[in-house]
Amino acid sequence: MPPPFPTDPGLSKSQALLSRDRESVWHPYTQHQGADLFLPVASAKGAVLTDTADNTYLDMISSWWVNLHGHGCDAIAEAIGAQARRLDHVHFAGVTHEPAVRLAESLLERAELGAGKVFLSDNGSTAVEVALKIALQFWQNKGCPRSRILALEGGYHGDTVGAMSLGRSSGFFNAFESLLFSVETVAVPHTWLGHDPVSEEDRVLDGVRRMLAERGREFAALIVEPLVQGACGMRFHSERFLSALCALAHAFEIPVIFDEVMTGFYRLGTHFACLQTAFKPDMLCLSKGITGGVLPLGATVVRERFFEAFLGGSFATALAHGHSYTANPITCAAALASLELIGVPGFQERLAAVSSWLSAGVERLGADRRIVKGRVRGTIAAFELGGEDARYGAGSGRPLARFAQERGVIIRPLGNVVYLMPPYCVEERQVARAFEVISEWLARE
């Protein structure tokens, strides 16, 4: 095994790590040719990352939207250690264990969908793949196959082939076009501060109603990112629109899947986004914050009637899906510890405070005419750099990201969309600092 760092006295720790990284690692969603130097992170605590030269940075994106309670959370770390010493892993086909059962029970209770089952997997993409396969095989097992899927325009649901098909309209997966199955999309009327798209919502819903009247029985499922579409630019839509769209789907017996990989676990202010709507979905896809942002875990929560459709005297009707690390006890223990932290006194008040700090920052920036479509929901704040290219790969937000990192703030704009999504432990002064840095950058442009 290589030593922690090369012994070349001419290299600093940071230089040594970056050199070795360059020789051996392929990073996600990165064009390596011409890429900026990677940030060599050595440790983290709370909302702060520390690099190998002891410089500190505010983690204003929760390390890709996963971290809830802050880095280095003692309660989660202790739960992981205790579980690793007791039972580290066991296969989950023909076996069960208490951490998995307790987690499934807790998720079912918190989702408020009634009786159901939880299928545990590895990440957000696999949670979506499970829901997709359940929806398609559900109709197959009933003897009336349906093969088409309905999704929101611009949606993103992960990077496995089924998930890519659902998110093909996002533009992320053009290289794999020949592998993707056809998905029908519904336009999404976006909302932001001062903009209420009621008339546009009605127009879209009328079109969906007419389409479903003609072809509604073709669709095996509707899948949505509820209230906030993440990777396509933190685009918000209204509870009114979402509830009406899902009710239309149910009117034509189309199961509804809520992809709450990002929105779950109070990111939007309630345990799940579905609790803010007048509609209860048939399935929930969960990941990211499920373990507090410490270990990879996915979960698909399914209403009982879908599970029952897979019962029978032959394996042919069973769900032939699984993962080597399904229901890993250590990840389940981390998730249970995170869920306990969600219930502590003062948690809701802290969320409200974070949301108010973000709202105040967006409001202050809104005085600059270059800042458009400001919006805040729960602990997500976003705005757009007016007149810039909105495509993810266009890089219009990269100069701001570089400037912010040099000043100790980590953000990762989505094209021209700048967003802040800090851990719930963030302090008011840290949020204020992030907005100060953004203001400094605007003043220089």
Determine the pLDDT at residue 191. Answer: 97
Cα 202 to Cα 304: distance, rounded to the nearest angstrom: 33
Determine the pLDDT at residue 393. Answer: 61
The answer on pLDDT for 438 being more than 60 is yes
pLDDT tens track for 7-28: 566 789 999 999 999 999 999 8
pLDDT class of 93 with cuts at 50, 70, 90 = very high
Residue whose token pair is 């066991």: 90
The answer on pLDDT for 301 being more than 80 is yes
Q: Cβ distance 247 to 282 under 8 Å?
A: no
What residues pair up with 41 in beta bridges, in sequence order?
A: 51
pLDDT tens track for 359-370: 999 999 988 989
Determine the pLDDT at residue 386. Answer: 82
Structure tokens given for 264: 């779950």
Determine the pLDDT at residue 321. Answer: 94
DSSP state of 55: -
How many other C-beta atoms are found inside a 10 Å radius of the C-beta of residue 12? 14
DSSP state of 37: P
CATH 3.90.1150.10 residue ranges for the chain: 38-67+345-444
Out of 31-40, 307-316, 340-349, least confident range: 31-40
Give the global pTM.
Answer: 0.94
The answer on pLDDT for 302 being more than 90 is yes
Percent over 70 (pLDDT), the chain:
96
pLDDT tens track for 182-224: 889 999 999 999 999 999 999 999 999 999 999 999 999 999 9
CATH architecture of the domain 76-342 equals: 3-Layer(aba) Sandwich (3.40)
DSSP state of 193: T
> Catalytic site residue 57?
no
Determine the pLDDT at residue 349. Answer: 96
When pLDDT is averaged across residues 395-416 and rounded to a whole number, the result is 92
Cα 140 to Cα 121: distance, rounded to the nearest angstrom: 23
pLDDT class of 341 with cuts at 50, 70, 90 = very high
Q: Cβ distance 276 to 362 under 8 Å?
A: no
- Please give the CATH superfamily to which domain 38-67+345-444 belongs: Aspartate Aminotransferase, domain 1 (3.90.1150.10)
Over the range 168-180, which residues count as b (16 or more CB within 10 Å of their CB) and which as e? Answer: bbbebbeeeeeeb
Catalytic residue (one of 57, 59, 266, 288)? 288
Read out DSSP for 351-399?
Answer: HHHHHHHHHHHHHHHTTSTTEEEEEEETTEEEEEETTS--SGGG-TTHH
Determine the pLDDT at residue 247. Answer: 97
Q: Cβ distance 322 to 399 under 8 Å?
A: no
Report how far Cα 203 is from the mean position of its chain's Cα atoms.
Answer: 29
Catalytic residue (one of 57, 59, 156, 424)? 156
Determine the pLDDT at residue 209. Answer: 98
First vs last C-alpha separation in the chain? 47
Catalytic residue (one of 8, 29, 36, 389)? 29
Across all residues in the chain, what is the average pLDDT?
A: 93
The answer on pLDDT for 392 being more than 70 is no
The tally of CA atoms less than 13 A away on the side-chain side of residue 54 is 0
pLDDT tens track for 106-148: 999 999 999 999 999 999 999 999 999 999 999 999 999 999 9
Torsion sign (Cα): 76, 79, 84, 85:
positive
When pLDDT is averaged across residues 279-304 and rounded to a whole number, the result is 97
> Catalytic site residue 259?
yes
How many other C-beta atoms are found inside a 10 Å radius of the C-beta of residue 128? 28
Percent over 90 (pLDDT), the chain:
85
- Kindly give, in sequence order, each residue whose CB lies less than 8 Å from that of residue 229, ignoring residues fewer than 6 positions away: 152, 154, 155, 156, 188, 235, 237
Catalytic residue (one of 259, 266, 282, 373)? 259
pLDDT class of 94 with cuts at 50, 70, 90 = very high
Cα 335 to Cα 354: distance, rounded to the nearest angstrom: 23
CATH 3.40.640.10 residue ranges for the chain: 76-342
pLDDT class of 160 with cuts at 50, 70, 90 = confident
Determine the pLDDT at residue 334. Answer: 98
When pLDDT is averaged across residues 266-294 and rounded to a whole number, the result is 96
Cα 20 to Cα 41: distance, rounded to the nearest angstrom: 14
When pLDDT is averaged across residues 245-263 and rounded to a whole number, the result is 97
Helix (H) or strand (E) holding 283: strand 283-286
Q: How many residues in total does the chain contain?
A: 445
pLDDT class of 310 with cuts at 50, 70, 90 = very high
The answer on pLDDT for 81 being more than 80 is yes
pLDDT tens track for 327-336: 999 999 999 9
> Catalytic site residue 419?
no
Share of the chain residues as helix, strand and coil, in percent rounded to the nearest 5: 40, 15, 40
Farthest-apart Cα atoms in the chain, separation: 72
